[in-house]
Amino acid sequence: MLTIVAFIVALGLLIAVHEYGHYRVAVACGVKVLRFSVGFGKTLYSWRPKNQRPGQDTEFVIGAFPIGGYVKMLDEREAPVPPEERHLAFNTQPLRSRVAIVAAGPVANLLLAVLLYASVNWYGVQEPQAILASPVAASVAARAGLQGGETVTQAGFEGEALRDIASFEDLRWLLTRGALDGQDVRLAVTSREGGGRELVLPLSQLQATDADAQLFRKVGIMGPFTPPVIGDVVAGGAGDKAGLRKGDLVLSVGGKPVVDGQQLRELIRASVDGGRTVASNWQVRRGAQSLDLTVAPQVVRDGAATVGRIGAFVGAPPAFVTVRHGPVDGLWKGVERTWEVSILTLRMMGKMVIGEASLKNLSGPLTIADYAGKSASLGVTQYLVFLALISVSLGVLNLLPLPVLDGGHLMYYLWEGVTGKSVSDAWMERLQRGGVAVLLVMMSIALFNDVTRLFG
């Protein structure tokens, strides 16, 4: 139920903001707006505000199906317009006004994202400290010399100035951008003993195409540092059968000292040989006792790989820090994050078009609904971050030069501005059909990816 509510609220808000951008600028430009609708289909509720601007008599509507919305303006191309109202029609407005009205929807979504990111920055959010877990063996991080337990104080792309890292999520976002953009990342770290050094992660060598868990396995930084403590144990699982209990601190596995939860998870994953489990001796501390247990993980499939599982949560919660910014700094960081997400989205779309990135990165309504529910269950700040991300995606998507989108109409206006002539009706029809076909293909791929992720 939470997933459905969170999804409907997200869609309703983002669509309403998008259409309000069109509506507000249209009214400011002197265009008569006939209807402002959030949703399609049967009208659930409608009203006409009493105090509207002169010449306006807009009907506001909430439709039964919240996937979409529209602003209907007076337009000679859609219906006859009385001569006395011709100056209020959209098609009679100067080019700059039409451009502003069409662009206002995507811009409204981008401005909403800035406000949402800024709100999170002002309110503050609990995030894991930027203390690194043990790197995955043979990964980029391991080859760069990271061992686990280092605190990342500053980071940046190679050739740029380093900036302070406030949390592990801050670092994760930088690594994601670096891997997908093919840029090396420089880190300034402090070891557990207090010594500082700088190192470079050559992420450009990865030639990453997907932003998934396998990408971070290649990078080697899977998560923040966590103590190697056993959490909830599944009854009847491999850990339960071996005698592991919640709260056990794992000291060593097979005689190898264990320093953190990530290292322990990797040792468990690797405890298979040719599809058969490999039992090993675990030394654990339970209260004041030191125990020796023989653990034989269960063999399971993880994608194409065969790995070990013990049926228990591995690793205690990481150390957290409250990340909060002042009014100006928080707003500016909201602008920066919106810009970074927009550029990354455009680059990924461009790479998908030329075949350098996988089409698996496209997500549809099922994935969005799933993330909406998960983020809402984690709290207000996580839900706001989710809304900001989707708002950026909606704004960028609508600016693409596809004829059925706002970006397509801006493309027509660019042609008109350059040539002095509007696009002919014949060409308009051809382009609209092509745009619809491309959009349907994209929606089909996104829906297929949704089903694969959720049910595959």
List the structure tokens of 264.
């322990």
Could you tell me where the DSSP H helices lie in 399-424?
406-419
β-sheet bridge partners, residue 38: 62, 69
CB atoms within 10 A of CB 302: 11
Q: Which residue type does 156 have?
A: G
Cβ neighbours for 305, distance < 8 A, ≥ 6 positions apart: none
- What are residue 196's DSSP bridge partners? 190
List own/partner pairs for 328-331 with CB under 8 A and 24 or more apart.
329/121, 330/118, 330/121, 330/122, 331/114, 331/118, 331/121
Q: How far apart are CA 445 and CA 456, in angstroms?
A: 15
Active site includes 19? yes
CA dist 163 and 188 (Å) reads 10
Among 19, 127, 150, 266, which one carries the catalytic annotation?
19
Residue with tokens 């009385």: 82
- Listed residue (5, 2, 259, 224) closest to 126, CA to CA: 224
Contact (Cβ atoms closer than 8 angstroms) between residue 68 and residue 439? no
Q: How far is CA 233 from CA 37, 230, 266, 299, 320, in A?
A: 51, 8, 18, 17, 24
Could you give the CA distance from residue 210 to residue 359 in angstroms, rounded to a whole number?
9
Residue 390 near residue 14, CB atoms below 8 Å? yes
Residue pair 387/14 in contact (Cβ under 8 Å)? The answer is yes
Residue 291's DSSP bridge partners are: 284
Return the exposure string of 412-443: e unless at least 16 CB atoms fall within 10 Å of the residue's CB, then b: bbeeeeeeeeebeeeeeeebeeebeeebeebe
Question: Known catalytic residues?
Answer: 19
